[in-house]
Amino acid sequence: MKIVSVDDLPLDGKVIQVLRNRGIVSLNPVQSEAIEKGLLEGKRMLLTSPTGSGKTLIAELGMISHLLKGGKRAVYVTPLRALTAEKYSTFGDWETLGIKVGVTSGDYDAEDAFLSKYDLVVTTYEKLDSLWRHGPEWLLETDYFVLDELHYMNDGKRGPIVESVAVRAKRRKILALSATVSNGEAIAKWLNAELVNTNWRPVPLREGILINDRKITLSFSDGTTLTLKGSDGILSYTEKVVEEGGQVLIFRSSRKMAETTAKKVASLNLKLRRGEVDSLASRLEEVEDAGSEEKNTLLELIKKGVAFHHAGLSKGLRDLIEEGFRKRIIKVITATPTLAAGVNLPARSVIIGDIHRFNRRILGFQEEISVMEYKQMSGRAGRPGYDSEGEAVIVVRNRREAERIARKYIFSPPEPLESKLGNESAFYSFLLGLFAEKGSSEERVRNLVYEAFLDRNVTESYLEQGFSWLKENEFLTNDYKLTVFGRRVADIYINPFSAKIIKDVLTSSQSEDCDIPYLHMLAMTPDGPIANVSKQEEDDLVYVSPCPTFMEEPDDEDELYEYLSALKIALIVHDWVEETEEDTILSKYNIGSGDLRSIVETMDWLTYSGYQVAKALKLESHAEILHKLNRRVYDGVKEELLDLIRVPGIGRKRGRLLYQNGLTKPEDLLMNQEKVKSILGEKLGEKVVKEAARVVGGVL
DNA sequence: ACGTTTCTTGTCTTGCCTCGGAGGC
DNA sequence: CAAGACAAGAAACGT
């Protein structure tokens, strides 16, 4: 029996009402197949299908029917905070059924115990992995897990986390969602679930190759070909699509290329709706978190209906660009792969400008992107409701290449999902996490480890090796209990190799007044951020550093690069906490405001971790310095401003301004309200005074 | 003869994302 | 197993 109308669903009328309110009256083929195979009866399932094929709704029906039948709690896991926020907002619809929906991830602040009052919790893989180590009651009694975007398992760095979450989740009921993979059967078997695999998509997709030779030829897999005029294939094709009323998403492999392509597109004179474009442009000028340079270049582009998009941009700018595209004010976005993985932003046509991407690990070489990655990008083609068909084209330079590329990306299945736990760093972290769980024992860990997707022989060889490494480095006692140090490392969720570096360096170094050696050491850990170091900087960095590092400058070329990259991070954060003007930092180090934000975020977490590790090791003077440093990193202020910036609305800039005018504490703001208003302006001043009152009141 | 534009050559650069916790959702 | 940006210098071009 195929269920097509939502009215036929064997579910409470309220459930059907929620769907109807969303405008859903019938189920698509993927959805009805999942239901047919027992989704609503709580059947374990692995669902592989293209992006945008309505997997979220399937997960919702799975979770809701589970909860309505007396299930205790459901947890929905995604690999990205942006997705977590998006799903949380979608799932809010179910509150009308009395289902309480909560969310937790790095940027939501919730204490573990607080989540116990929710029936449905949305989170990230890392957060869930971390929660499991603390073992709160609400998590232990959770009996349904949805693992979204399971194909992230193939990511070298983060895949092991996905896998280790799956190992624990699959002991309960699960529903796993993934892009199409070539070994779905094997994964389903591993998860003890039934495979539901379809290729259905809401808007049909045509895939093609754009040959950018003397002549520009566009040939699609269905056999149609056409020739375009012009000298730049990307431009000619883009112009054609926009003239026909469509939007274009162009993927380039580097930020710089995305920016220059955007500038070229801007010279096309696309037809725009002037009024909307102008109001978007004026809103762009008001974006607060952005650097002035990126804002100015984007402003010019947006007026021409085009924008570039990459992680160097501030969050505010990215959000505005995405919104402008969704409202069809912006016709063309040129982007790095950020947009392929994150929140859904479809366009009539997707151009994959490069199939090569630089990879530092394969030094000097470029690697071809994976088929799966291509599918992620091309899957963004076709806007439901606007386009009857989506188009995805790969740009190549000659006819010979065209055939090989078409065979590889268009006519071949994507790669299989593989375990990425087979390396020391991933495997030892996995072990440490398992030992940190409630009721852990040597035997339990030994059993759990074999439930990973990793090959049995490989697991065996890493297991004993991992145990002795954890013991040697004092994470684990000889009778398989975590040491104080080991416990702390598991809790703060840093890589054990990072912890080892911090431990080794701090125990062998005297405490230093300067913050550079501390920041540098933290940036050198596997958890540290990475900065690109130019040739020029290679020569200058050591020279401009105000003081030496704990770690010695290596001779080896690759190691030297890592050392200098960490030094650059240290200098950036040093300038940041010394209250250097943001625009100055951005141009001095040639980074974007988005980069600065992410460096600060990571270093905030790492300085906290460093402080905790030092404390656990009873290295008091190091701990004190790191603690003081940590308090300054997030907001980027000198110590004397810490008191003032407790007031919401006051950051490093306003804080410094008030401080210079003799207002140094929140209390001072209350005592000199008129002065505050004259410094910050009437409206803002009033708001700040109110906030100050709350802060001061809270203290009393 | 001199200034400007175009071409040639060699060097340089190069994606993204998640992790803690304080108070109080 | 790369490709485009950029800078510097050479060559071509124009007045």
Name the protein residue, with chain letter, whose CA is nearest the C1' of B11: A535
Cβ contact A319 with chain B strand, < 7 A: no
Q: How far is the CA of A151 from the C1' of B23 (A)?
A: 36
> Among A574, A682, A696, which Cα is nearest to A643's?
A696
Cβ contact A114 with chain B strand, < 7 A: yes
Q: Which DSSP category does A423 fall into?
A: S
Residue A641, helix vs strand vs coil: helix
Q: Which DSSP category does A427 fall into?
A: H
* pLDDT of amino acid A700: 47
Name the protein residue, with chain letter, whose CA is nearest the C1' of B13: A534
Q: How far is the CA of A528 from the C1' of B25 (A)?
A: 31
Q: How far is the CA of A696 from the C1' of B23 (A)?
A: 15
Full strand arrangement of the beta sheet holding A332-335: A225-228, A216-220, A205-212, A390-396, A349-352, A248-251, A332-335, A306-309
Name the protein residue, with chain letter, whose CA is nearest the C1' of B16: A338
Q: How far is the CA of A338 from the C1' of C11 (A)?
A: 43
One of 1.10.3380.30, 3.40.50.300, 1.10.1270.20, 1.10.3720.10 is the CATH number of A494-636, namely: 1.10.3380.30
* pLDDT of amino acid A1: 58
* pLDDT tens per residue, range A387-412: 999 999 999 988 888 999 999 999 99
Q: How far is the CA of A634 from the C1' of B21 (A)?
A: 13
Residues of chain A short of pLDDT 50, as ranges, are 700
Q: How far is the CA of A83 from the C1' of C10 (A)?
A: 54
**Nearest nt to the A594 alpha carbon by C1':** B16
Q: How far is the CA of A311 from the C1' of B15 (A)?
A: 9
Going from the C-alpha of A22 to that of each of A13, A30, A51, A133, A165, the distances in angstroms are 14, 18, 20, 38, 32
**Nearest nt to the A366 alpha carbon by C1':** C2
Going from the C-alpha of A33 to that of each of A38, A52, A175, the distances in angstroms are 9, 16, 14
Question: What nucleotides of chain B have any atom within 7 angstroms of a protein Cβ?
Answer: 11-25
Q: How far is the CA of A115 from the C1' of B16 (A)?
A: 29
**Nearest nt to the A254 alpha carbon by C1':** B14
Q: How far is the CA of A256 from the C1' of B14 (A)?
A: 9
**Nearest nt to the A130 alpha carbon by C1':** B19
Q: Which DSSP category does A381 fall into?
A: B
Strand C: protein residues, Cβ closer than 7 A = A 256-257, 260-261, 354, 356, 358, 364-366, 397
Cβ contact A348 with chain B strand, < 7 A: no
* pLDDT tens per residue, range A230-243: 888 999 999 999 99
Name the protein residue, with chain letter, whose CA is nearest the C1' of B25: A110
Please report the DSSP string for A241-271 in residue order: HHHTT--EEEE-SSHHHHHHHHHHHHTT---
**For residues A337 and A250, what is the distance between their CA atoms, to the nearest angstrom?**
10
Q: How far is the CA of A121 from the C1' of C3 (A)?
A: 45
Please report the DSSP string for A52-67 in residue order: TSSHHHHHHHHHHHHH
Residues whose CB falls within 8 Å of the CB of residue A539, separated by 6 or more in sequence, listed in order: none
Asked if A113 and A136 count as a contact pair (C-beta separation under 8 A), the reply is: yes
Question: What nucleotides of chain C have any atom within 7 angstroms of a protein Cβ?
Answer: 1-6
* pLDDT of amino acid A387: 95
Give residues 661-680 of chain A lying near strand B (Cβ < 7 A). none
Cβ contact A195 with chain B strand, < 7 A: no
The CATH number of the structural domain formed by A643-699 is: 1.10.150.20
Cβ contact A342 with chain B strand, < 7 A: yes
**Nearest nt to the A263 alpha carbon by C1':** C5
Name the protein residue, with chain letter, whose CA is nearest the C1' of C4: A257
Give the start-to-end residue ranges of the domains of chain A. Answer: 6-197, 205-410, 423-492, 494-636, 643-699
**Nearest nt to the A367 alpha carbon by C1':** C1
- The torsion of the CA quartet A490, A493, A495, A496, rounded to 10 degrees, works out to -20
How high does pLDDT run on average in chain A? 93
Cβ contact A109 with chain B strand, < 7 A: yes
CA of residue A99 relative to chain centroid, distance: 28
Q: How far is the CA of A126 from the C1' of B17 (A)?
A: 11
Q: What angle, 0 to 180 degrees and rounded to 10, lies between the N-to-C axes of helices A673-680 and A652-660?
A: 120
Q: CB atoms < 10 A from the CB of A673, how many?
A: 16
Q: How far is the CA of A544 from the C1' of C7 (A)?
A: 26
Q: How far is the CA of A519 from the C1' of B23 (A)?
A: 28
Judge if A6-197 and A205-410 fold alike in CATH terms. yes
**Nearest nt to the A256 alpha carbon by C1':** C5
Q: How far is the CA of A396 from the C1' of B3 (A)?
A: 40
**Nearest nt to the A112 alpha carbon by C1':** B21
**Nearest nt to the A354 alpha carbon by C1':** C3
Cβ contact A343 with chain B strand, < 7 A: no
Overall size of chain A counted in residues: 700
Full strand arrangement of the beta sheet holding A144-147: A101-104, A120-124, A74-78, A144-147, A173-178, A45-48, A194-197
- Tokens coding A502: 């911090």
- Tokens coding A463: 């297991």
**For residues A98 and A143, what is the distance between their CA atoms, to the nearest angstrom?**
19
Give residues 143-162 of chain A lying near strand B (Cβ < 7 A). 157-158
Cβ contact A138 with chain B strand, < 7 A: no
Superfamily of domain A205-410: P-loop containing nucleotide triphosphate hydrolases (3.40.50.300)
* pLDDT of amino acid A365: 67
Q: How far is the CA of A535 from the C1' of B11 (A)?
A: 11
- The torsion of the CA quartet A36, A42, A46, A50, rounded to 10 degrees, works out to 60
One of 3.40.50.80, 3.30.40.10, 3.40.50.720, 3.40.50.300 is the CATH number of A6-197, namely: 3.40.50.300
One of 3.40.190.150, 3.40.190.10, 2.40.110.10, 1.10.10.10 is the CATH number of A423-492, namely: 1.10.10.10
A660 is in an annotated binding site: no
**For residues A31 and A61, what is the distance between their CA atoms, to the nearest angstrom?**
10
Asked if A212 and A396 count as a contact pair (C-beta separation under 8 A), the reply is: yes
Name the protein residue, with chain letter, whose CA is nearest the C1' of B17: A80
Cβ contact A224 with chain B strand, < 7 A: no
